[in-house]
């Protein structure tokens, strides 16, 4: 009778061990099958090197004035002045070549570089109400420097108004949508900016 109880207990233990091993095996196989293919996600970004998701447009009209000086005293009738006008577009986004994709179970993390200005283009610069004279001829370099300073100032203003923040939000949405197209709607997606 004792022999019979011992063999039944042994059989129960063996069956429990087999059930645990099979359950762990099924879980392992399920995780392997359900983990998205990160290379397929990475390839879905394709040949897109830069992804611009937000832009800021502006128009500037600014007056420039310069007078010749001698020993810190402004010389009369040496004023050069003009009004400069141009429009610009600033595009913000990321370089997708630096994107890294990792997966764990049903979760995908896409690590992107920080949002930056991808381009800053301007229209043709127009000069209005231009005055120059023989003692202070027009200096094209001063107008080029003025345009560069105005562009830099406008870019700082755009960033302060949330250009980069808006670009990040749109990037999260675009990347999440792209990953779900490749890996499935049941995948959790996290976008991280570094």
- List per-residue pLDDT tens for the chain, 194 residues long: 455 666 777 888 888 888 887 877 766 665 555 566 777 777 777 767 888 999 999 999 888 776 666 787 777 766 777 788 999 999 999 998 889 999 888 889 999 999 999 999 999 988 877 666 655 555 555 678 888 999 999 999 999 999 999 999 999 999 999 888 888 888 889 999 99
pLDDT of residue 12: 80
Q: Are 124 and 86 in contact (CB under 8 A)?
A: yes
161: closest CA among 52, 45, 84, 57?
A: 57
Q: Are 90 and 163 in contact (CB under 8 A)?
A: yes
CA 73, CA 101: separation in Å to the nearest integer?
64
CA 164, CA 175: separation in Å to the nearest integer?
16
pLDDT of residue 90: 97
Q: Are 120 and 151 in contact (CB under 8 A)?
A: yes
Q: Provide the pairing of β-strand 107-112 with 116-122.
A: unpaired
CA 88, CA 173: separation in Å to the nearest integer?
26
Domain ranges of the chain: 1-32, 34-193
The helix or strand, by DSSP H or E, that contains position 54, with its residue range, turns out to be strand 50-66
pLDDT of residue 29: 60
pLDDT of residue 132: 61
pLDDT of residue 21: 79
pTM for this model (two decimals): 0.69
CA 106, CA 190: separation in Å to the nearest integer?
11
pLDDT of residue 167: 96
CA 163, CA 149: separation in Å to the nearest integer?
19
CB atoms within 10 A of CB 13: 10
* Alpha helix segments (H runs only) across the chain: 2-34, 38-44, 140-160, 163-183
Tokens of 10: 């042994």
Rg, C-alpha atoms of the chain: 33
* pLDDT per position as a tens digit, 111-154: 999 999 999 999 998 887 766 665 555 555 567 888 899 999 99
């Amino acid at each position: 009778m004792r022999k019979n109880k011992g063999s039944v207990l042994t059989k129960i233990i063996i069956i429990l061990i087999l059930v645990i091993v099979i359950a762990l095996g099924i879980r392992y196989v399920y995780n392997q099958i359900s983990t998205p293919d990160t290379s397929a996600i990475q390839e879905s970004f394709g040949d897109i090197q830069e992804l611009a998701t937000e832009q800021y447009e502006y128009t500037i009209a600014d007056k420039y004035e310069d007078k010749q000086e001698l020993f810190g005293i402004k010389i009369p009738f040496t004023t050069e002045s003009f009004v400069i006008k141009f429009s610009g577009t600033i595009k913000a986004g990321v370089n997708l070549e630096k994107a890294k994709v990792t997966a764990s179970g049903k979760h995908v993390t896409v690590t992107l570089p920080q949002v930056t200005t991808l381009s800053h283009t301007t229209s043709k610069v127009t000069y209005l109400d231009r005055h120059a004279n023989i003692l202070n001829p027009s200096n094209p370099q001063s107008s080029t420097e003025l345009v560069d300073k105005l562009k830099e100032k406008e870019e700082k203003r755009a960033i302060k108004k949330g250009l980069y923040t808006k670009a990040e939000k749109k990037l999260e949405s675009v990347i999440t949508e792209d990953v779900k197209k490749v890996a499935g709607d049941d995948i959790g997606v996290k976008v991280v900016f570094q």
